[in-house]
Amino acid sequence: MADGERLTPLSVITFSRPLAVLAAERLGFFREAGLEVHYTITRGSVEQIRGLLAGRFDVAHTAADNVMAYNDREAAGLRVVWVGDLGLGQKLFVQPEIPDYASLRGAQLGVDALDTGYAFVLRKMLSLHGLEPDAYQLVSVGGTRERFQALREKTVAGGLLSAPYDTAAEDAGFRLLDPASRYFPNYPGLTVAVTEGWLSQHKELLQRYLAALRRGMAYGADPAHRPELVRFLAADQGVDEEAALRRYEAERAVQSRVLPSLAEVLPALQGVRTLRNEMTGVHRQVEESFDTSAWPQ
């Protein structure tokens, strides 16, 4: 953008600040797109989606299942508009004394919301190991940060955690029981969603944001930039460079595909839709929650 030109504000509610965001911020990609982007870390998907629907935020980085859930229940008019990578960073952590899935029988497990986000991913993992829904109890505690805190407070026996709380959980002595990527290798990762009404009025603004974010994703995926990105992570999360390096490696390890094509994203979203249909008995089409009109070229 030209010197002196005013930046357009954009508010984003998210669960975390991945490498793509840090690169786009620190390297000026958002500014070059004429944007002043403000990020809010949500305490959970209900707060996030309700805030988006109420217009308190313009954009959400969320789970694709959240979009589908609110459209299923309320015809909310939410749309996934971009997926920046494929790969599920959620990992099932449990209390140190729990050795296996069988030991979770009768346990309380922390989730964001009971029927959205990654709750169905967890239910599927448990089912594949012989634990049906009546064998345990899901407890809604909030987002990844809140689930980690519930583990620390011993109010839950386990829960799915993603970066940076997965490495924090390992450092705190919790047991990594299983990575969700083992069962869902091409689950949509960085997923951007907006409301249909906001999109109709701000498509050009969204395109600028997605283009800058795409630049950040490409930069973050290049191993040559690792030292710089580790420094960005350390400064952003207030940790030393050794901890930041572990978090960098953890985020990169779960990305099975960075900057996937539309042809790759559609079956990934279909997988989310199929799981949701299976768990709820509500049979909808993935296209009802997906809009490609702002997809960066």
CATH number of the domain bearing residue 243 = 3.40.190.10
For residue 200, the enclosing domain spans 8-87+187-289
Name the H helices within 139-224: 144-152, 165-171, 196-221
Q: 198 and 284, same structural domain? A: yes
Rounded alpha-carbon distances, angstroms, from residue 273 to 115, 213, 289: 13, 25, 10
pLDDT at position 109, please?
A: 98
Q: Which H or E run includes 14?
A: strand 8-14
Average pLDDT of the chain, as a whole number: 95
Residue 9: which of 208, 235, 218 has the closest Cα?
Answer: 208
Amino acid 3: pLDDT: 57
Closest by Cα among 150, 168, 157, 166 to 254:
166
Final residue of a structural domain among 133, 155, 182: 182
Domain contains 296: no
Q: For residues 188 and 272, what is the distance between their CA atoms, to the nearest angstrom?
A: 8
Is the alpha carbon torsion for 153, 168, 143, 185 positive or negative?
negative
Res 1: pLDDT: 60
Q: Does 170 share its domain with 219? A: no
Question: Domain check: are 162 and 108 in the same one?
Answer: yes
pLDDT score, position 45: 94
Number of domains making up the chain: 2
Q: What stretches of 13-136 show up as alpha helix (H) in DSSP?
A: 19-26, 29-32, 45-53, 64-74, 119-128
Cβ contacts of 179 within 8 Å, gap of 6 or more: 88, 90, 91, 92, 254
pLDDT at residue 4 in the model: 57
Query: Do 144 and 17 lie in a common domain?
Result: no
Q: What does the alpha-carbon distance between residue 2 and residue 281 come to, in Å, rounded to a whole number?
A: 53
Q: 207 and 77, same structural domain?
A: yes
In a domain, 295, yes or no: no
Give yes or no: residues 134 and 269 share one domain: no
**Same-domain status, 105 and 178:** yes
The stretches in the chain having pLDDT less than 50 are none
**CA dist., res. 148 & res. 133, Å (int):** 22
Can you give the pTM of this predicted structure?
0.93
Instruction: Please check whether residues 17 and 83 belong to one and the same domain.
Output: yes
Do 175 and 154 share a structural domain?
Answer: yes
Do 73 and 203 fall within a single domain? yes
Structural domain includes residue 272? yes
Same-domain check for residues 51 and 103? no
Q: Is residue 198 part of a domain?
A: yes
In a domain, residue 176? The reply is yes
> What's the pLDDT at 163?
85
**Which of 182, 210, 237 is the last residue before a domain boundary?**
182
Give yes or no: residues 35 and 175 share one domain: no
* Among 158, 182, 206, residue at a domain's last position: 182
Amino acid at 81: V
